[in-house]
Amino acid sequence: MNPYLLSQLPLIGGFVFLLVLASLMPHRKEGISSIIAIISLCSTAVAIWIFLPEGAQYFGGAIRVTSVGKLVAYVCLGLTAIGMVLSEDYLDKVRVNGLDWRMVVLALALGMVNLSLAGDLATLFIAYELVSIPSYVLAGFSHKDPRSNEAGMKYLLLGVFTSVLFLLGLSFIYGATGEINLLAIHDKLARAVEAGATADLTLAKIGLAFLMGAVLFKVAVAPLHSWLPDVYQGTNLASLAIISSPVKVAVFGMLGMLLWGVFEPLSDLWKPVLLLGAALSAIMGNLQAIVQTNIKRLVAYSAVVNGGFILLGILVNSVPIVVFYLGSYGIMTMGSWAALMAMGTRHADVDEISDLAGMGKTHRWLALALTVILLSYAGIPLTSGFAAKFGVVLDALRPDAGLPPMTLWVVFLSVCGGLVSFYFYFQIIRAMWLQSAPAESADRRASGADLRWNYAFVLILSVVVILSLGMFVRLPGM
C-alpha cells in the first residue's frame, strides 16, 4: 500500500469509526470517542515518522515530504491531541455533543497534516479548505449560544471571502507558470527572474499578492486582524483551543514553507509585505490590547502581536526558530486556555479580567501556572516565549541576512511593543495575586481541590515545556 495513504489511515479510520459510533449509539457516554480520537492523532504522528521518509514524493508530486513539513505536522498533531485531552468534560459543560466535536477536529487534523505535506496547488487548496471549514464549524459549535453563532458566522463569511482570494492567487500563479506542482513552479519562476520575463512575473506577483493577502488575513496579522477578537470572544474555550493553537501553527507553517520554497525567487515582493505586517502587528496589537477588559479578546490581540514576531522569523529565513516559535506559542496558548477552563465555575466561564480577582488565594497552583504562562507570553527570560523572541531578534540582526532596509527599525518596534505588552499581561497577574475576590463570587467557585485531572495534566505539561524549552534549548545562532 502507498506509504502516504498508510500514514493517513489512522486519522481517516478514527473519523469513520466515530461516524459509525455516532450513528449506531447516539446516546452513549462519550469517553470512548475521546480515547479513540487521541489514539488516532498520536498514531498518525508515529505513522508519519515511520512511513514517510524526507524528500519522498507521492502521486506524481502531489504530496511532498519535507523535514519542515514533518515537524509542523508533529507539532499540529501533538497540540490537537492536547486540545482533545482538554475538551474532556468541558464539552458537557457547554452542552456540546462531544462525539460530533471530535469528528470535526479529526477532519481538521487531516487538513493540517496535508497542509504541511502539500506538493501541488490542488493539494494545497484542498488542505487549506479542510483546515478552514471545520474551523468555522468549531467556532459556531455551541449552537444554542447566540454569541457562538455570531462568531461562527463572522468567521465563515470572512474565511470564505479570503479562500476565494486564495484560489484567485493560485489561479494567477498557474496562469504565470502553467504548472501546479510546487517544485516546477519554483523552477519556472527562478528561470523567469533570470530571463527577465516581465509579463509572467507580473502575473505571478499579482497571484502572490492575492495569496498572501488571503493567508495573512487567515492568520490575523494587522491590519487584517479586526475579526479575530470577536471570534475568540464568541467561541467556547474547547473549540478556541483548537482554532487558536494548532490551526495557527499549520497556517503559519504553510506560509513559511511556501515563501521559503516556491516563492523564494519573488522575495523582493514578499519581504516588504511581511515587514509591513510585522510592524503594524507590533503597533496595533499592543495598543489595542491595552484597553481590553475581556480576557479572550486580550489573548486575541496578543495572538496578533505574536503573529508579527512569527512574520519577522519567516522574513529572516530562520526555519528552526520559526518552528520553535510556533511550538512554543502553541503550547503557551493551550496552557492559558486550560487555566481559564479550570478557573471557570460550573455554569460560566471566566470572561472579564476582573473575574480572576483573588484567584491567587483560592486557586494557588492554577494561578501560579497561569502566571508562568503569561510571563512566557510577555517574554521574560527563562521561558520559551523569551527564547523564541530572542532567537528571532538575533537572527534579524545578523549582518549578512540580505533583509530589506527598514528591518532594524521594525525589530526595534517589535521589542518596544514587547515592553508595552508587559503592561497588559501584568494586569491579569495583578488581578490574580493582588486584588481580593468580591465576596459573593468566592463561594460560587469550585475550590482548588476538585481540579480536574485533564486541566492539571495540560497545565503541568505546558509549564514544564515552557520552562524546559526556555532554559535548556540552544537555538542555532544563540
Give the nearer residue to other proteins in terms of CB position, either 42 or 126: 126
What's the min distance (Å) between Cβ of 60 and other proteins?
A: 11
172 binds other proteins, rule: CB under 8 A: yes
Give the contacts of 75 (CB within 8 A, at least 6 positions apart): 246, 249, 253, 323, 326, 327, 330
* Torsion angle of the four alpha carbons 380, 385, 386, 387, in this order, in degrees rounded to the nearest 10: 150
161 binds other proteins, rule: CB under 8 A: yes
Q: Which of 76, 156, 299, 475 binds other proteins (CB under 8 A)?
A: 156
Q: Which of 12, 19, 107, 168 binds other proteins (CB under 8 A)?
A: 168
* Torsion angle of the four alpha carbons 354, 356, 360, 364, in this order, in degrees rounded to the nearest 10: 180
Residue type, 226: S
For other proteins, the binding residues in 238-297 under the rule CB under 8 A are 291, 293-294, 297
Partners of 57 in the beta sheet?
Answer: 64
Give the nearer residue to other proteins in terms of CB position, either 301 or 325: 301
What's the min distance (Å) between Cβ of 53 and other proteins?
A: 26
Give the contacts of 76 (CB within 8 A, at least 6 positions apart): 109, 112, 113, 116, 246, 249, 250, 253
Total H helices, total E strands in the chain:
22, 2
Cα–Cα dist 206/209, whole Å:
5
Residue 195 grid cell: 530571463
What's the min distance (Å) between Cβ of 149 and other proteins?
A: 5
Q: Is the peptide bond before 146 cis (omega within 30 degrees of 0)?
A: no
Q: Which of 6, 9, 107, 129 binds other proteins (CB under 8 A)?
A: 129
Give the nearer residue to other proteins in terms of CB position, either 111 or 391: 111
What's the min distance (Å) between Cβ of 402 and other proteins?
A: 33
Residue 418 grid cell: 514587547
143 binds other proteins, rule: CB under 8 A: yes
Q: Which of 154, 248, 271, 389 binds other proteins (CB under 8 A)?
A: 154
164 binds other proteins, rule: CB under 8 A: yes
What's the min distance (Å) between Cβ of 334 and other proteins?
A: 23
125 binds other proteins, rule: CB under 8 A: yes
Listing DSSP states for 385-431 in one string gives: HHHHHHHHHHHHT-TTS---TTHHHHHHHHHHHHHHHHHHHHHHHHH
136 binds other proteins, rule: CB under 8 A: yes
192 binds other proteins, rule: CB under 8 A: no
Burial of 444 (0-12, 13-18, 19+ CB in 10 A): exposed
Q: Which of 68, 84, 137, 432 binds other proteins (CB under 8 A)?
A: 137
Residue 84 grid cell: 482533545
Cα–Cα dist 422/296, whole Å:
17
What's the min distance (Å) between Cβ of 77 and other proteins?
A: 23
Q: Binding residues for other proteins, how many (CB under 8 A)?
A: 42
Q: Which of 2, 20, 92, 178 binds other proteins (CB under 8 A)?
A: 178
Give the nearer residue to other proteins in terms of CB position, either 67 or 293: 293
Q: Which stretch binds other proteins (CB under 8 A): 23-31, 35-43, 66-74, 132-140?
A: 132-140
Listing DSSP states for 82-144 in one string gives: HHHHHHTTHHHHTT--HHHHHHHHHHHHHHHHHHHHB-BHHHHHHHHHHHHHHHHHHHT--TT
Q: Which stretch binds other proteins (CB under 8 A): 33-41, 74-82, 128-136, 450-458?
A: 128-136
What is the number of alpha carbons within 13 Å of residue 375 lying toward its C-beta? 16
Give the nearer residue to other proteins in terms of CB position, either 153 or 446: 153
Q: Interface with other proteins by CB under 8 A: which residues?
A: 121-122, 125-126, 129, 133, 136-137, 140, 143-144, 146-147, 149-154, 156-157, 160-161, 163-164, 167-168, 170-172, 174-175, 178-180, 230, 233-234, 291, 293-294, 297
